[in-house]
Structure 1
Amino acid sequence: MPTTTIPDDLRSDVETLWDYSQMHHEPKPVDLGIGLGSHDPDVPVYTAELYHRGLFPTIVFTGANAPGTVEAFPRGEAVHFRERALELGVPDSAILVEPEATNTGENIDFTRALIEEHTALGPIRTILLISRPYQQRRSYAICRKRWPGVEVTCAARPLPLDEYIARIGDANRVINMLVGDTQRLWVYPANGWAIEQPIPAAVRKAFACLVTAGFSARLLPE
């Protein structure tokens, strides 16, 4: 049975990565909202809320499936996210679906190509990336590299760490994902896939402690 409790001796390290991974941007009006596919069912809900607040006229939901999302979203993340947004009152005319991307780089590349096909939208100069909370810094760094002509703002439903874990229902899964996303902030730039981000010493230390504690399921070879 998955636990939703963070071990006391690891809490400080998890909180360090959780806080660092978020960009702490204030959502603001933009030309396009992009809901990034993932296992997090709150992404389409929060995207719909921001749409109804008038922050963007058009949404792209992007994402096929990862191994961890097939059961929850068997027809693909973007397809299910669109359906959820429709349930929440977003008009179909305001939603585009990109159903092929299998990673964040493809989310950006394929969304950019889709937008270029829809010339009626006009030039896209500003975008809002809506994601799970700890995906923000990584998606920001990737988008800045792969779509350099736009101004990027990041958003996720503002939730305390413990409440987010309770919603997902599995602390170990969240911590493993958080550790993996943190590692990608230096692995991706080294491979030319993202811009570099400053990595504070406290983040490096927290990352190393969590890896030592066994949270290595999402690590990439370096």
Structure 2
Amino acid sequence: MISTQAWADAQRLWDFQQMGHEPRLCSVAIGLGSHDLGVADATANLYHRGMAPLIVFTGATSRTTRERMPRGEAEHYRDRAVELGVPADAILVEPKARNTGENIRFSRTLLEERRIPVSSVLLVSKPYEERRAYATARKLWPDVEWVSSSTPMTLSEYVDSIQDARLVIDMLVGAQQRLMVYPRQGFMIEQQIPDEVVGAYERLRGEGFTSRLVPEEASHGKRSR
């Protein structure tokens, strides 16, 4: 049973992760691989709205996607986007990335190899990882403009879609921890984190929502979705 306080704290973390960017026309959209096919749906929607002429889907597999997406997250995302009417020739696949840093670095390399000029990127992630993805991208590819996006939905709607409330809160806590730890390790830009968000994170961590945490000395080379 998840307490009323835990739900309130989870909501605070969820709200903080939302960057509030308005989607606009960018050079390319990059969809970050994960267990959530909703990222592919959101990226396809942005394409159909004319927000990007090209999509890069990036991601290998993880312990949470190995069975559901055996050919790799990016490949399954591409299939989903094609089902939704995105032309196959408007999609590039980066199949090797195993963490958010690699998603950004490997996508950049792919685009540079194709000699595709990039001045701005629509960065499409899961709703609870908008800020984490943005902070990573700004650090690793600082000379382009980043616009964060995800499927517009509430925390309760996301929990309903995943059907595992505890896992969602664990993932929120994990995303928040990375915002606090990774800047010191050089993996993200530093961001101001309000005291009330830190308090919510600490209470949830104290209640045992810890399955998605990484050791604070962890290398970004390790899988850390």
Match of 1:103 in 2: 99
Q: 1:170 aligns with which of 160, 164, 167?
A: 164
Alignment partners' CA distance in 2, 1:6 and 1:160 = 18
The code of the aligned residue for 2:157 comes to E
SS class of match (1:129): strand
Give the alignment partner of residue 141 of structure 2, picking from 125, 143, 147: 147
Cα distance in 2 between the residues matched to 1:21 and 1:43: 16
Q: Which runs of 5+ in 2 are unaligned?
A: 217-225
- Following TM superposition, by how much is the alpha carbon of 1:63 offset from its aligned partner in structure 2, in angstroms? 0.3
Shift of 1:9: 2.9
Q: TM-score, normalising length from structure 1?
A: 0.95
Identity %: 54
- Give structure 1 stretches of 5+ with no counterpart: none
Partner of 2:17: 21
* Structure 2 residue corresponding to 1:117, chosen from 98, 110, 113: 113
| Paired residues, number | 216
Counterparts of 1:59-138 in structure 2, within 5 Å, are 59-119=55-115, 121=116, 123-138=117-132
- CA–CA distance in 1 between the matches of 2:173 and 2:194? 15
Aligned to 1:55: 51
1:108-134 Cα distance to aligned partner (Å, 9 max, x none): 000000000111x3x200000111001
CA distance in 2, matches of 1:102, 1:39: 12
CA distance in 2, matches of 1:40, 1:7: 26
Stretch of structure 1 that moved more, 80-89 or 69-78: 69-78
Q: Distance in 1 between matches of 2:96 and 2:153?
A: 29
Q: 2:153 aligns with which of 142, 146, 159?
A: 159
TM-score, structure 2 as length reference: 0.94
- CA drift of 1:6 comes to 4.9
- CA distance 1:127–1:6, shift in 2 (3 Å): farther
Amino acid at match of 1:128: L
The residue type equivalent to 1:206 in the other structure is A
- C-alpha RMSD of matched pairs (Å): 1.0
Q: CA deviation at 1:7?
A: 3.3
User: In the alignment, does 2:206 pair up with 1:207?
Assistant: no
Aligned AA for 2:165?
A
Question: CA offset at residue 218 of structure 1?
Answer: 1.2
